[in-house]
Structure 1
Amino acid sequence: MSLFNSALGKNITFVHPAYFIISGFIGIPNIKYYYVFLLFAYVIAVLGNTIVMAVICLDHNLRTPKYVAVFNLAFVDLFGSSALVPKVIDIFLFNHTSIPYSECLTFLFFCYTSLSMQSFNLLALAYDRLVAIIFPLHYQVKITHRFMFSMIVSFWVVAIIAVLTAVGLITRLSFCESVVINSYFCDHGQIYRLACNDNYPNYVLSCLYPVLIFWLPLIFILLSYLYIGCTLAKVATIKEGLRAFKTCIGHLLLVAIYFIPLLITFTLMEKIHPDARIINLSLTSVIPPMLNPIIYVLQTEEIKESVKRLLKIRRKHKITIKKLPIM
């Protein structure tokens, strides 16, 4: 970040605090029960996403472009949960509310990167469903492994650059008074508002970031399903339309779980109590990683069949071992 700051002027000195204080959950009644839920959600997220990743790796039938995106979503959920939940529990349950300046920026980077990639992954899966249903004969030509890998890598690059820009802009802020962050993690919006020098670039980024990470993917997803619905209504029978749309149920549930709480929070931001807003936003960070693998296992026939095949192979392997003669 020294290069970033040197570009602003060699003689500029920024006042960086030794630490920030995370105060988001402090003072909320019965909050310790919520920590138990966070721990439960984290364990389910780790087990579920690990199983999904393992099934995709072990079953060659799932080595398709679609499951490149599903694997990446499971990885991002695991990555994001591991970056957030253990740290949140350590901060609030064990009262380690002060976090060093550089560690806080690192915490911000991992949380925002995983949040961005969750949205981008849902966008990639929406595009996959759009092509599969509207252009089924061209699906294997349009959605190749190379295309899906390129799209996922591009999303990672965009997410990392956007978040690094946010981190870089924070390093040019001076903090002369309060260092208390009223959130459950090192939230960019809460941090830049504490600055005592010009924070306008941070404000601009805080306006652009939701558009890039939240609104544009959501608009594309909604338009893609609107297009799918209109097309199926024109060219397919009701039975065929329902069969085609059934393949989208899992993805639609993921979209609802991720975007609806954020929509409610952003729409009713002024009317929601600050404590309720913090709890709601924290739920959007832990609920999707916990439910995504469950939804995909229960709603996706390919994964259910793959799990059955792997369990059947494992059972046969055990029987074979038991039948081997002991020398």
Structure 2
Amino acid sequence: MRGANQSSFSEFLLLGLSRQPQQQQLLFVLFLSMYLATVLGNVLILLAISTDSRLHTPMYFFLSNLSFVDVCFSSTTVPKMLTNHILGSQTISFLGCLTQMYFLFGFTDMDNFLLAVMAYDRFVAVCHPLHYTTKMTPQLCVLLVTGSWVIAILNSLLHTLLMARLSFCADNTIPHFFCDVLPLLKLSCSETHLNDIMILTEGTLIMIPPFVCILVSYICITWAVLRVPSTKGKWKAFSTCGSHLVVVSLFYGTIIAVYFNPSSSHSAETDTAATVMYTVVTPMLNPFIYSLRNKELKGALRTVIGRNLCSN
């Protein structure tokens, strides 16, 4: 593949997470289990929210969108890795690589926006409970989600087009289990200065405002809860936000570790471990995090599971 340019460069080699056969077998079983758990958990949440009229509220509307995005997020990377293992192949086409990167960027942005929207929803619920229904109208909820999709699609398209213009004449092996932007840039023999600038500047503009929104929302929530005289009232208010805070910490912690650290501090092993966290582990944990501390959702899930068992 050396000396090839973009027009003749046809495929990459995904090295995966390990070169040892025994470890590959173990990782295959582990990732298959996590992927099935992700799909099953998030689909159950979608079914529970759609079938229970008590859950037709803004909070669960945003949660259902998050569950849908999480299923798509994991499906962007894990099935290809599992398929490659079964077929004994490590290849991915140039077009397939760009497609994978496009959807990865898009769903990452959507997770980012939805977490911010959910933080704002909790802020209104805790700090302005009497005006919640008038502030969080169905029209506003749909507008927030639609706007998030539009920005995510445009941002993902921008990075994909910038990557498509590059030439690749170095080694075609990617030390990863999917086509991430940073390993791809290292393989390019073109000038990647524009790509690097856009990742830092435009990526910062996409990530920082939602993160600031989450931070401000929870500062206001904490201040409001501390003024509640009853200990039971404080615990109830914090419990409605605790699950969301756990998800936020997992998501932003790994994103910052991979994309917002100096390139000199990066190693393939560290980046791979961090990306596994936010592309595979976090989408799998979200259904458990949100359902274990939510009585309404647990009740709806029991109803859905019981109904399915009875029908079988």
TM-score clears 0.5:
yes
8 A contact 1:41–1:286 mirrored in 2: yes
Q: Does 1:282 align with 2:270?
A: no
What amino acid sits opposite 1:179 in the alignment? N
Deviations 1:119-149 (Å, cap 9, x if unpaired)?
Answer: 2111111110011001111110111111111
Q: Does 1:167 align with 2:137?
A: no
SS of the residue 2:88 aligns to: coil
Alignment of 1:231-310 (within 5 A): 231-234=224-227, 236-265=229-258, 270=264, 273-310=267-304
Gaps of 5+ in 1: 1-12, 319-327
Call closer, same or farther: CA 1:172–1:271 in 2, change over 3 Å: closer
SS of the residue 1:178 aligns to: coil
Deviations 1:87-112 (Å, cap 9, x if unpaired)?
Answer: 12223554322211111111111222
Percentage identity across aligned positions?
A: 30
Aligned partners of 1:273 and 1:170: how far apart in 2? 21
RMSD, aligned α-carbons: 2.6
Q: Which residue matches 1:73?
A: 66
Call closer, same or farther: CA 1:223–1:204 in 2, change over 3 Å: same
Q: Which residue matches 2:136?
A: 143
Compute the displacement of 1:183 (Å).
Answer: 2.4
SS of the residue 1:193 aligns to: helix
SS of the residue 2:287 aligns to: helix
8 A contact 1:23–1:97 mirrored in 2: yes
8 A contact 1:42–1:290 mirrored in 2: yes
Compute the displacement of 1:163 (Å).
Answer: 0.6
Compute the displacement of 1:167 (Å).
Answer: 0.8
Aligned partners of 1:284 and 1:297: how far apart in 2? 19
Compute the displacement of 1:249 (Å).
Answer: 1.5
8 A contact 1:22–1:181 mirrored in 2: yes
Structure 1 length-normalised TM: 0.84
Q: Which residue matches 2:204?
A: 211
Alignment of 1:191-230 (within 5 A): 191-230=184-223
Q: Which residue matches 2:116?
A: 123
Aligned partners of 1:243 and 1:177: how far apart in 2? 57
Greater Cα shift, 253-262 or 96-105: 253-262
What amino acid sits opposite 2:279 in the alignment? S
Q: 1:27 aligns with which of 9, 16, 19?
A: 19
SS of the residue 2:19 aligns to: coil
The number of equivalent residue pairs is: 305
Compute the displacement of 1:271 (Å).
Answer: 5.2
What amino acid sits opposite 1:153 in the alignment? T
Compute the displacement of 1:26 (Å).
Answer: 4.4
Aligned partners of 2:125 and 2:71: how far apart in 1? 27
Alignment of 1:152-163 (within 5 A): 152-163=145-156
Aligned partners of 2:198 and 2:111: how far apart in 1? 19
